[in-house]
Every structure is written in structure tokens, then in C-alpha cells.
Amino acid sequence: MVDNNGNLLEDLGDEDDIIRISPLKELSRELISENIKFQIDNPFISRNNFLEEFVDQYNEESDEREGNDDATKELDETAREFFLKIIEMIDHKFDLGIDFDAIGAVNCKGVASLAEGLYEFFIIKYPKNISKYITMLTLEYKSDLIDSIASDDDKDTVAYASLAKKLNSAEDGILITNINRVFDALKTLDIDNDTFIDYFNEDKYEVAITKYCIENFIITNNFVSKYLDPVFGINVQDDIYDDVVGTVRHNLYTKFKKDVAPTLDDYREGE
């Protein structure tokens, strides 16, 4: 059976006889791998961090085996294989073009850090990152967007008139009431990896790891269009699109309210 933390347990009868099976055991690795695969295939459904428990157990067992070279080597080989499998799944999903030869010289703890960071950025925080990125793009290109989508008809709507009374700038209401047109305009932008990652706070662990992979050519393909595919792609998923649009609209409304006066840097530094 499985405890509340997702750990596999072997039931021997009495509660005191329940033995925890290490996540490094093959059966548990397979379970974690399947859960992560489901997350990658359905990135907007599950936010559970299935990798964290494995990493914690690996670090704990690594400390226990310190000084025993043979035992440490065996543990590292098993863990390294698993971490590389997670990276491979993320690579396949987003067509990152991971240079596994470059990872070859990295020790097991280093590979664990890469797996953790990429898993966090591309899977756990994926929905949040998309909404945050589009919000920041809208703030950066605010004037251009207003010029491209504004019309006298927009300013005559009841929704616009109501919003205009609540916002710093009356024109901010144009963006919120025409949010779908904002998305249509933003998806035409051609953004590379370096520009994309700079929209995020480098002090965040997962951002720092992803940026490291970009700058050191571990990630070799431009993944931005693939990353935004559920919202900006050809086959947009309606439920995901609606969810992201709603989040971005809320973000903008919060930022545009009177006496807030946001800047792009303010939003980048936030959660």
C-alpha cells in the first residue's frame, strides 16, 4: 500500500511491522516514473512533486554510505540512471535537444540538481510560468498592444467604461476587455531561449538551473514555441487556454488597479 506521502509500504500485519521501502528500489522508481510521465502528458492536472521524495531519500542514503566507496558507487549508478530518465522524458516532451554527452561529465548529485530544476520549471510550475510569462509580455508591450487593438468601438463598451473607473489608466481597460486579441498579438512574437528565461527571477532555483542549461548548451533547441504550445500553438486546448486567459486577466486587473502602478521588474521578482 501507499502512505500519505506517496511512499510504498509493505504491510506485514501490525502497524508497528510496516516497513518503508526505499524509493531507490526498482518498484518504487517505476511508480514515481509513471506518475511523472502522467504529469508530463497532462501538465495542467497534477502539481504533486513526485521527484522530491526520491531526491531526499537519495541524499539520506548517500550520507549513510559516506566512506563506503563500493556502496556509494552502486547507489549513485542507480540514482543517476533514474535522474537521466526523468530528464529524457522532459527533453522528449519539449524537444529541448538535451546534450547528454555534456551531462556525462557531471557527477550524480549534479545530475540530480539538473533533474530537479528542469522538473520544477517544465512540469511543476509549468501552468504558473506560462501565465506569468504572458502577463509580463503584456506589461512590456503594453503601449504597442493598445495601439494595435484599440478602437473607438472599444471605448464605447459598458465593460470598458466600468473598468476605466477602477484602473490607473483608462486604456488599461482595453487590454483586459480585449484579452483574446492580446493573446493573438503576443503569439506572433519570435522569442529565443535566452530572452524567454530572462523574464523569470534568476534567484529561483528552477530558473537558475534552466538558465544554466541554456547558457552552457545542455539545452540546444529553442523550446519556447513548444513550451507555449497549449496556448499559442496550432492545436490550442480550449480548457487550458481559458484557464490561462482567466489567470492573465486577473493578474493584469490586479496590476492595473489604481495606486498599484506595476513595473515589469516588480512582477518578475514576485512569486
**167 and 49 together in one domain:** no
Is residue 60 a part of any domain in this protein? Answer: yes
Residues 142 and 264 in one domain: yes
What pLDDT score does 29 carry? 82
66 and 146 both lie in a single domain? no
**Which cell numbers hold the place of 142?**
503594453
pLDDT of residue 260: 57
Q: Are residues 46 and 100 in the same domain?
A: yes
Same domain assignment for residues 149 and 238: yes
Query: Within this chain, do residues 87 and 161 fall inside the same structural domain, yes or no?
Result: no
Give the whole-angstrom CA distance, residue 191 versus residue 201.
17
Q: Are 109 and 75 in contact (CB under 8 A)?
A: no
Instruction: For residue 147, give its domain range.
Output: 127-187+228-269
Q: Which strand (E) or helix (H) includes residue 19? A: strand 19-20
pLDDT at 174: 84
Asked if the structure places residue 110 within a domain, the reply is yes
Please tell me the pTM assigned to this model.
Answer: 0.82
pLDDT of residue 66: 84
The number of distinct structural domains making up the chain is 2
Q: How far apart are CA 114 and CA 146, in angstroms?
A: 40
Q: What is the pLDDT along the chain (271 residues), one digit of tens a residue?
A: 334 343 433 333 343 333 344 546 665 788 888 999 999 888 888 888 999 988 888 888 888 888 888 888 989 999 999 999 999 999 999 999 999 999 998 999 999 999 999 999 999 999 999 999 999 999 999 989 988 887 655 555 656 667 767 787 777 888 888 899 999 999 999 999 999 999 999 999 999 999 999 999 999 999 999 999 999 988 788 889 999 999 999 999 888 886 555 566 665 666 5
Separation of alpha carbons 254 and 236, rounded Å: 26
Answer with the one of 97, 124, 151 that is the final residue of a domain. 124
Asked whether residue 79 is assigned to any structural domain, the reply reads yes
Q: Can you tell me the distance from the alpha carbon of 134 to that of 128, in angstroms, rounded to the nearest whole number?
A: 10
Would residue 89 count as lying in a domain?
yes
For residue 231 the three cell numbers come to 496556448
132 and 253 co-located in one domain: yes
Do both 148 and 241 map to the same domain?
yes
pLDDT attached to residue 3: 42
What is the C-alpha to C-alpha distance for residues 229 and 47, in angstroms, rounded to an integer? 19
Residue 207 lies in a domain: no
Considering the domain boundaries, does residue 160 fall inside one?
A: yes
Give dist(CA 246, CA 253) in Å, integer: 11
Among 78, 97, 124, residue at a domain's last position: 124
Name the residue with cell 547507489.
75
Q: Is residue 32 part of a domain?
A: yes
Are residues 51 and 70 located together in one domain of the fold?
Answer: yes
Judge if 144 and 246 occupy the same domain.
Answer: yes
Identify whether residues 119 and 136 lie together within a single domain.
no
Helices (H) and strands (E) in the chain, counts: 17, 2
- 45 located within any domain: yes
